[in-house]
Amino acid sequence: MSQSVDLARAQQRFARRQRLVRWRSWLPWAIGGAVLVLGGLVVWLFYYSSALAVDGVRVSGADTVPVATIENVAEAPVGTPLAKVDLAAIAERVRTIPAVADAQVTRAWPNKVVIVVTERVPVVVVTDGSRFELVDATGSAFKTVPNRPAGLPEAKVTGARREVTIRSVVTVSAALPSTLRAQVGSISAASPDSITLHLGSGVKVVWGSSDDSERKAGVLSVLMKRKATVYDVSAPDLPVTKGEKR
């Protein structure tokens, strides 16, 4: 009787070990299959399911450019899975808006495309006598307005090389100390090499080209300690004044 019991227990232990061996041999396959199924579900959810599809756009950084304009130009593919959206293409389209200097586009899960724009900031208003164009620090004209905006120096630009001249004017304006820039009523330039500042007090500053603008600004600051009607810093090594008041 005792031998029969021991034999039965041994058989049970052997059967358990066999089952454990079989289970261990199948376990890697089971785990691998589960991973494949899970991966397939994730791919389907992110790339093919409508659960994570684009349902709108969120815009920030727009103060002067209408949000509706940005949304229309962006052409975000509503209904397309968010993971498949070409963010770089959207950003490139938004950057074609003249008043937009830059655009960054990201995903906001689960359903939004986020567009952050950096608008151009006018530093000079350029006129040819019939229209006024807002120009930013890169020399890019991005908006035409009917009247001269307050608080910006007016640049009267003429001549054939207009775009180059405008960039030169912007370079000169950026080099001026803020106290002097505030005194500038207008800037005239018939070419990139013939820039002249007209101060509100009636004083004229002959600047010449935009070359060495930082140095010219420093020379002018010293030169203006002498009261005169004309300051010529076009050759900063040999500055000249006219109409000095004794």
From first to last of its 246 residues, the chain has per-residue pLDDT tens of 555 655 556 556 655 665 665 556 655 655 665 566 665 665 555 666 677 789 999 999 999 999 999 999 999 999 999 989 999 999 999 999 999 999 999 999 999 999 999 999 998 999 877 789 999 989 999 999 888 888 788 999 888 888 899 999 999 988 888 888 888 889 999 999 999 999 988 899 999 999 999 999 999 999 998 899 999 999 999 999 998 766
- For residues 100 and 118, the answer to whether their CB atoms sit within 8 Å is yes
pTM: 0.72
Count the helix, strand and coil residues of the chain and give each as a percent rounded to the nearest 5. Answer: 40, 25, 35
Identity at 70, one-letter amino acid code: I
Which amino acid, 232? Answer: D
> What span, in angstroms and rounded, lies between the C-alpha atoms of 161 and 148?
23
Beta-carbon contacts of residue 22 (< 8 Å; ≥ 6 apart): none
CATH topology of domain 50-119: Ubiquitin-like (UB roll) (3.10.20)
Question: Among 3.60.10.10, 3.40.50.10960, 3.40.30.10, 3.40.50.300, what is the CATH number of 124-242?
Answer: 3.40.50.10960
